[in-house]
Amino acid sequence: MLMGLENLIRDIQQEPWADNLPVDEEFWTHYTKWVEENLLPKFLERFAGKVDDIVDIDPGLPEQEILEKATSHMVSYLGATSASIRIYDPKTEQMLSYGSYPSREETRETAIPLEDSISGEVLRTRQTYYSPNLLKEELYHNKKTVVKEGVHSLLAIPFEIPRFFPRERDTLGVIQLYYEDGGRKFSPLEIRTANTMAKRLSFVIAHKKILNMNRMAEKREAIVNHIFLKLGSRGGVKLAEVFNEVVPELADMVDLQSCALFSVGPALDQVVLQAGFPLVGGYHSVGKAVPVSSEPVYELLLNLRDYSGDSRYEEVTPFYILIVDVERSTLMSENNKRFAQRNGINSILFVPLKVGGEITHFMTFDALDYRKRYRGEEIGVFLFLGGELMKVQKMEQLDDALHDFKNPAIATAGFARRLKSLIGKDDLESSREQIQKYVDILLDETSRLQELAMGVYAVGEEQVVDFSRMVENRVEINREAIKELMKQDVTLKLGPYDRDLRVKCHSVHIERVFDNLLNNATKAIPLKGGTLAVKTYANGKWACAEILNSGEMSLRDQMKSREGAGEGRGLYITYRILRLLKGKMDVRSQNGMTTFVVSFPLYSP
């Protein structure tokens, strides 16, 4: 069965130790036959058994535990003292600690650089690397481990977990086996054996991914069923109540350790903790309000600041923010870092909940295990949960709106009947004051109905509107505001207006923007009087309106305004609508004047 028997005998005879051995062909034939019949079967049986031990590792275990069990088999079979695993993280370009045998994770470095390290060299070359003397090894920098653990030589093996889906990355890592004896020589058989055992890991991980796909489908179905049952029950739907009922049921399925639901204030100035899990024994203070400005991660989540952090410590996407390292992330305040340290929180996932393009709530998921972070498939389930809870939120808004529709609807119908009765009289002049009163009430109540409707759905379909004419109309309405505020000596400077500007939007949204800005500008004019100037123009692909008023705005207030944290609700509403319409606003203040420049994307047919 041994292939190339003659070549094998010739190779043995050329070894120095074989000089004094018999040279007749019959001896060597018997020798190789004995090796084949007695030595190789035992070797292959033991080796295949150990490979089977790796392949048979329970795929339901966490990925890190699978790797640790595999390395324990490698340590016992190859006669090593210990082993460690490092995985390459393409986001941080570091080799992350991913388990060890025996476990020493609490004393190991969380991450080491890709460059100038044994792990990095193995990853770069995709070849096994061995070092007979770690004290003299230039790529091995933690010399204290050599003395403390009593290990002097090392064998580093590459391993690869192929991607399961086209959009995934291959997982690349290194298994390092440590030996007590220094000056150790690693035979080709040892190296080949170690590589073969490392490659068998891919079968276990592939099996695990198949099971995960099935589990994820089950979790999604469970989420839908729980929410469907809640929506089908009698009584009004409340997001916090659904959260409290659904999350505990899913905790075991998604390995959920701790999570919370926050609501965002209408002015984007604060968040309030609405619900937390676990309900008993947790650290969540339900009802507590926190200023958005106190937490950088809240400002980033609500699009009130641009991201300028370090991607090694956080992962920022349009769908979630993952704080990988709470202690080092600049998105976490010192107060939040102390809270995380006190409660053993190592990483936090933030998932925003949007309705109509606006973030009204968000969820947080805390990972408590040492150096644990939620994996991609777990994040996928949390995002799915967020999507389903957004449906609940819309139902809650509809419930609230239907409840609040009752009173203005009754009032509108009643006063409309009275108004009709008055108009039917011959002498309208005598009823003028009463008619005016009823008209004012109808205007107030129908405006309230409009606001309630806008809170649930977008108002109608987007239309292409004449931008300058719309601005001009709002200016005319603002003239009445100037009279009501009894502003003296206000000089209006209107125009020029660019008559070729078109934008696509819900007209009521832009009307609200300019009503707020013109009202704020009017109020900001000093009591002694001043100027209010408005003009429109095109700037590249933007339709721009410039509103200039007397009165300076402090630098502090300008910075708050840019972050959507200025005083007064009008600016908050304005910034929220601008984000919804993909517009922008710039504020300048100098020489006793303040200028707001509002820009919307020009409509292109």
Q: Is residue 49 part of a domain?
A: no
- HSE-up of residue 231 (Cα within 13 Å, Cβ side): 18
CATH number at residue 293: 3.30.450.40
Do residues 365 and 219 both lie within one domain?
A: yes
Q: Is the pLDDT higher at 427 or at 527?
A: 527
Joined together, the tokens standing for residue 410 give 């009754």
CATH number at residue 547: 3.30.565.10
Beta bridge partners of 172: 160
Taking the whole predicted model, whether its pTM rises above 0.75 is answered as no
Q: Taking each helix axis as running N to C, give the angle between helix 188-199 and helix 63-78, from 0 to 180 degrees, rounded to the nearest 10.
A: 160
Q: How many domains does the chain have?
A: 5
Q: Domain range for residue 550?
A: 463-601
- HSE-up of residue 458 (Cα within 13 Å, Cβ side): 16
pLDDT tens, residue by residue, 133-175: 988 899 988 888 778 888 999 999 998 877 766 556 778 889 9
Q: Is residue 50 part of a domain?
A: no
pLDDT tens, residue by residue, 40-63: 777 778 878 888 888 888 877 877
pLDDT tens, residue by residue, 528-553: 888 999 999 999 999 999 999 998 88
- 598: pLDDT strictly greater than 90: yes
Averaged pLDDT for residues 353-366: 82
Do residues 6 and 127 both lie within one domain?
A: no
pLDDT tens, residue by residue, 201-228: 777 877 777 776 666 666 666 666 666 5
Confidence of residue 182 (pLDDT cuts 50, 70, 90): confident
Q: Is residue 505 part of a domain?
A: yes
Q: Is the pLDDT higher at 407 or at 385?
A: 385
- 487: pLDDT strictly greater than 70: no
- 564: pLDDT strictly greater than 60: no
Do residues 447 and 480 both lie within one domain?
A: no
Do residues 542 and 573 both lie within one domain?
A: yes
Averaged pLDDT for residues 168-192: 86
Residue found by looking up tokens 């959009």 in the block: 167
- 456: pLDDT strictly greater than 60: no
pLDDT tens, residue by residue, 308-319: 877 778 888 888
Tell me the C-alpha distance between 188 and 524, whole Å. 82
- 486: pLDDT strictly greater than 70: no
From residue 507, alpha-carbon distances to 198, 411, 466, 514, 545 in Å are: 63, 27, 10, 11, 15
Q: Is residue 17 part of a domain?
A: yes
- 604: pLDDT strictly greater than 90: no
Instruction: Tell me what percent of the residues of the chain surpass a pLDDT of 90.
Output: 14
pLDDT tens, residue by residue, 239-289: 777 777 777 766 766 667 788 888 888 778 889 888 888 877 777 788 788
Q: Supply the pLDDT for residue 600.
A: 93
Confidence of residue 489 (pLDDT cuts 50, 70, 90): confident
CB burial readout 219-258, b (16+ within 10 A) else e: bbebbeebbeebeeeeeebbbbbbbbebbeebeeebebbb
Q: Is residue 51 part of a domain?
A: no
Q: Which of 149-153, 205-209, 358-362, 583-587 has the lowest mean pLDDT?
A: 205-209
Do residues 149 and 179 both lie within one domain?
A: yes
pLDDT tens, residue by residue, 469-482: 989 877 876 775 56
Do residues 246 and 390 both lie within one domain?
A: yes
The beta-strand segments (E) located in 418-475 are 463-466
Averaged pLDDT for residues 330-346: 89
At position 91, the amino acid (one-letter code) is: K
- 234: pLDDT strictly greater than 50: no
